[in-house]
Structure 1
Amino acid sequence: MTNEMNAAQKLKALYPQHKPRIAVVLGSGWGGLTGHVVDPVRVPYAELPGFPEATVQGHGGELWLGRIGQTEVAVMSGRKHAYEDGVVDGMRLPLETLRDIGCEAIVLTNAAGSLRPAMEPCSLMLINDYINATQRSPLVGEMGSERFVDMKDAYDPALRRVAHEVARESGTRLHEGVYLWSFGPQFETPAEIRMFERMGADAVGMSTVPETILARRMGLPVLAFSLITNMAAGLSGESLSHSHTLSQARAAGDTASGLLARIIANL
């Protein structure tokens, strides 16, 4: 094993028996999915060139290889957020690695605030579109016409149909809506939330959109979910904090990860 090997080459050399088809990125509250991975191999990010250092509480910092049902998976327990250092394409190398070891689609998850009164904390939302409120792109600096990616179906319609079908069969309510990316790390103001409501957002968070853009640039279909941890600023009397987000995420984590495992097993 040489130091020149990239992360994909290392994974293929060390774990040739693992041939993942579905990549998963776990956000806050979704860590319970790893409990559904059968015969897992756990690889610390520190051993994989280009993978992020886990700096956010609730993000594990390991790549899990194994299977969920009969589906071979590669699960990132934790992600890089643009608000950590201002770098928007910090997930580029991890996603390229997942593609290069054979993943054919990617599932993204996050914790988010709700802008819809009927979508209360502990709800689950399937993302059908996004609003990039930051208007920053991980593709800046690329050359050539391929950087002009069509985002019409940013979240794959066929994969979304599978998710809804599995949710119905399991008796789990799955909302669907538009996710808005706010840069962070501070929470949004009530005035911003009122603006986002008028823009058509249903949930707001600080991740997922850069990974969506990168995945679509790589030709990977995307499926994405939000775990609703709070009502957005100004829509309730609660005070927002990361610890509050994590406590609410833990409350609904088992339901979220259980549904996600069933969906992945059917992809």
Structure 2
Amino acid sequence: MSDLLQQIAAASDYIKKIWSLTPEVGIILGSGLGNLAGEISEAIEIPYNEIPHFPTSTVEGHRGRLVLGRMNGRPVVAMAGRFHYYEGFSMQQVTFPVRVFKALGVKTLLVSNAAGGMNRAFKVGDLMIIRDHINLQPEHPLRGPNIAELGPRFPDMSEPYSKALIARAKEIAANNNIQVHTGVYVGVQGPTFETRAEYQYMANIGGDAVGMSTVPEVIVAMHSSMKVFAMSVITDIGIREEENVITHEEVLEAANAAEPKLTLIFRELISVL
């Protein structure tokens, strides 16, 4: 057995000893979006540093706990805080929780993030359903020898974000008078925010929003045969001509303000899966 398979087994076995349910849905919460975990009933929280082989989140706005319980009656497991390549983790570490989710039984992955907007129709606080992505990160989570037990050598990426889940989410948003956009997410390394020229470049190649996460987890979820739904909160607009200095504090503030709408969509989507 490979080292990675052993590590996945150790982490999942540890979690199963604490929580006996089989989660149907896995949730990854981005910067300033961790309060969705408060919607989970019968919750059990496990700090990341107690789970074998789990990294520890170092970014403000990421609580660093695995939350297990029920949402709308369905067993779920949620990451209140994720890992990023820019923190110094390898891509294997960044995506390790997705592997553990799969080992626990997760079939559907819901992902949120805070993102910078390039689409001129967007404003701060808007929600964007991700319909596709462009991967500009410098490392790939599937690089290296493929482990057949985890997935195929060359996974298909023609529909990384489930069209059926996107349609359901749009219905939920419409029924609750929540405006949502759909768009293409550009994944970059970070940790610097983008220059004006970089924002323009990413808009030119088809991007609507940009962020420093999500793409690696989605790739591994697809490698693991999961269905994926992802949504960005637009926390800054980088493509405008006027002065627009971006700070992490402002990103967290915008994410917190938009979170109730995102939480409603995630909660209702889980109920109709």
Contact 2:86–2:190, Cα closer than 8 Å, also in 1: yes
Alignment counterpart, residue 253 of structure 2, candidates 227, 247, 252: 247
Tell me how far apart the structure 2 counterparts of residues 91 and 133 of structure 1 sit (CA, whole Å): 16
Match of 2:192 among 186, 193, 207: 186
1:77 has 2:80 as partner = yes
- Residue 215 of structure 1 is matched in structure 2 by 221
Task: Give the match for residue 9 of structure 1.
Answer: 13
Shift of 1:135: 5.1
Question: 1:200-245: per-residue Cα shift (whole Å, max 9, x none)?
Answer: 0000000000001111111111111101101025554221111111
Query: Is 1:128 paired with 2:131?
Result: yes
Equivalent residue for 1:174? 180
1:109 aligns with 2:112: yes
Matched, 1:58 2:56: no
Cα distance in 2 for residues equivalent to 1:253 and 1:149: 32
Contact 2:136/2:186 (<8 A) preserved: yes
| Counterpart AA for 1:261 | R
Does structure 2 conserve the Cα–Cα contact (< 8 Å) formed by 1:189 and 1:234? no
Structure 1 pair 213/236, CA: closer, same or farther in 2 (3 Å)? farther
**Residue 225 in 1 paired to residue 231 in 2?**
yes
Task: Count the aligned residue pairs.
Answer: 264
Residues 235 and 129 of structure 1, relative CA distance in 2, 3 Å threshold: farther
Q: What amino acid is aligned across from residue 190 of structure 1 in structure 2?
A: R
RMSD (Å) for aligned C-alpha atoms: 1.9
TM-score, normalising length: structure 2: 0.91
Name the stretch that deviates more: 130-139 or 111-120.
Answer: 130-139
Which of 22, 25, 29 is 1:22 aligned to?
25
Could you say what secondary structure the match of 2:14 adopts? helix
Unaligned runs of 5+ in 1: none
So what's the TM-score if we normalise by structure 1?
0.93
Q: Measure the CA separation in 2 of the matches of 1:253 and 1:13.
A: 32
Letter in 2 for 1:186: T
Judged with a 3 Å threshold, the aligned counterparts in structure 2 of structure 1 residues 4 and 52 are, in CA distance, closer, same or farther, namely closer
Q: Using a 3 Å threshold, how does the CA distance of structure 1 residues 226 and 235 change in structure 2: closer, same or farther?
A: farther
Opposite residue 78 of structure 2, the aligned amino acid is V
Q: Secondary structure at the match of 1:90?
A: helix
1:32-47 pair list within 5 angstroms: 32-47=35-50
Give distance in 2, aligned partners of 1:203 and 1:237: 19
Instruction: Detail structure 1 runs of 4+ shifted over 3 Å in the superposition.
Output: 233-236
Give the direction of change, closer, same or farther, for the CA distance of 1:242–1:107 in structure 2 (3 Å limit): same
Percent identity among equivalent residues?
36
Verify the 8 A CA contact 1:52 1:90 in the aligned structure 2. Answer: yes
Report Cα offsets for 1:149-193 as digits up to 9, x if no partner.
111001111111111111111111111000001111011111111
| Partners of 1:115 and 1:235 within 8 A in 2 | no
Correspondence 1:237 to 2:243: yes
Matched residues in 2 for 1:150 and 1:4: separation? 23
1:87-144 deviation digits (Å, cap 9, x = unpaired): 2232332111111111111111100011112211100000000001235311111237
- Structure 2 counterpart of 1:72, which letter? P
| Distance change in 2, residues 1:71/1:5 (3 Å) | closer
